[in-house]
């Protein structure tokens, strides 16, 4: 059973999603700090499905496209270029492992990748498996537009996918020794 953490409250959700993050320079500066926002102050992000060596894998209950998932860096940086080389390789490896596994699971026409951090300035990569006839054909994806609500079984399938990946990495490392 996976519990997807909710937004703390509706007011915060509205502020987070509709421009609140940039509304004041002081608030934004605070938000960029390690202990300033959700991921690092809580120790892990909301909606965690599982974890890999360099990342947590998360999703939301309600998502823009079926299969949406997010890979969140365990190291706090705002910009990807701020990650030291080893950590950068680790984060990218996790992102691509999740993208490939998700691709195998959901069989999209095309996987889409997005890194913004305008609301949550802690490095994370959104993965959107795109399908013919999804809600965003011919226009940019909008994370605020909900077009699918995950069932418990779907969340479990995603969680199992991440668990398998975590195991696979461990197994692979074992073979190298
Ligand atoms: Zn952080």
**Phi and psi, residue 46, nearest 5°:** -70, 155
Cα–Cα distance measured from residue 25 to residue 37, given in angstroms and rounded to the nearest whole number: 15
Enter the tokens of residue 157. Answer: 């399938």
Is the Cα dihedral 94, 57, 13, 34 positive or negative? negative
Report the pLDDT value the prediction gives residue 2, as an integer from 0 to 100: 47
Gap from CA of 151 to ligand 1 centroid (Å): 29
Question: What residue ranges define each of the domains in the chain, with the CATH number in brackets?
Answer: 10-176 (3.30.428.10)
Gap from CA of 93 to ligand 1 centroid (Å): 20
Gap from CA of 83 to ligand 1 centroid (Å): 12
Gap from CA of 42 to ligand 1 centroid (Å): 9
Gap from CA of 122 to ligand 1 centroid (Å): 5
pLDDT band of residue 21 (cuts 50, 70, 90) is: confident
pLDDT in tens, 131-174: 999 999 999 999 889 999 999 999 999 999 999 999 986 566 56
Gap from CA of 170 to ligand 1 centroid (Å): 26
73 touches 122 (CB < 8 A): yes
The predicted model gives 83-110 an average pLDDT of: 97
Report the pLDDT value the prediction gives residue 5, as an integer from 0 to 100: 54
pLDDT in tens, 2-15: 455 555 666 666 66
Is the Cα dihedral 88, 44, 57, 8 positive or negative? negative
The predicted model gives 61-80 an average pLDDT of: 95
Cα–Cα distance measured from residue 18 to residue 56, given in angstroms and rounded to the nearest whole number: 25
Gap from CA of 49 to ligand 1 centroid (Å): 18
* pLDDT for residue 1 is more than 50: no
* pLDDT for residue 101 is more than 70: yes
The predicted model gives 103-132 an average pLDDT of: 95
Gap from CA of 135 to ligand 1 centroid (Å): 31
Query: pTM for the whole thing?
Result: 0.86
């Amino acid at each position: 059973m996976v519990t997807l953490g909710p937004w703390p409250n509706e007011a915060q959700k509205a502020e987070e999603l509709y421009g609140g993050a940039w509304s004041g320079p002081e608030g934004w500066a605070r938000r960029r700090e390690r202990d300033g926002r959700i991921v690092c102050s809580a120790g892990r992000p909301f909606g965690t499905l599982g974890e890999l060596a360099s990342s947590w894998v998360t999703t939301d209950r309600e998502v823009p496209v079926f299969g949406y998932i997010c890979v969140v860096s365990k190291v706090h940086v705002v910009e990807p270029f701020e990650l030291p080389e080893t950590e950068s390789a680790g984060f990218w490896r996790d992102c691509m492992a999740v993208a490939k596994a998700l691709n195998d699971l959901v069989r999209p026409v095309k996987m889409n990748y997005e890194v913004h951090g305008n609301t949550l300035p802690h490095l994370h990569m959104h993965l959107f498996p795109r399908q013919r006839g999804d809600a965003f054909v011919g226009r940019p994806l909008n994370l605020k537009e909900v077009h699918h609500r995950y069932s418990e079984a779907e969340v479990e399938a995603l969680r199992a996918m991440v668990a398998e990946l975590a195991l696979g990495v461990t197994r692979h490392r074992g073979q190298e020794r």
